[in-house]
């Protein structure tokens, strides 16, 4: 995966994790004074403030949401399997992570 924010890790094959153990490295990376840029990821969101973190998922540094602009996007330089192109994004992971995040 790839850090999109201090508590968000996304990948074309894995979807997005928010505030989970998979994001620990992102929290650590966020403490380094060198800014990480994701300018190579496709812009998304109403004001183009986010980046396509995974197929069908647009993330800012603080949140992720479904976005049609990100469907079938090869967001990580990873090969996206044919079954994922135009298919349903990994919302199960996004929903589970969101629920866990809201519990905190």
What CATH number is given to the structural domain containing 54? 2.60.9.10
d(CA 78, CA 65): 21
pLDDT in tens, 22-79: 899 998 888 887 767 788 999 999 999 999 999 999 999 999 999 999 986 444 444 4
Expressed as residue numbers, the domain containing 38 is: 2-103
pLDDT in tens, 1-12: 899 989 999 999
What stretch of H or E contains 26?
Answer: helix 24-30
Number of domains the chain contains: 1
């Amino acid at each position: 995966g790839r850090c999109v924010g201090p508590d968000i890790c996304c990948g074309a094959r894995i979807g997005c994790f928010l505030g989970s153990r998979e994001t620990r490295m992102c929290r650590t990376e966020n403490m380094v004074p060198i800014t990480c840029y994701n300018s190579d990821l496709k812009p998304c969101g109403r004001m183009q403030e986010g980046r396509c973190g995974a197929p069908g998922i647009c993330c800012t540094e603080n949140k992720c949401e479904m976005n049609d602009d990100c469907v079938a996007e090869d967001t990580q330089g990873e090969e996206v399997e044919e079954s994922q192109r135009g298919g349903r994004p990994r919302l199960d992971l996004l929903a589970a992570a969101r629920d866990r995040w809201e519990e905190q």
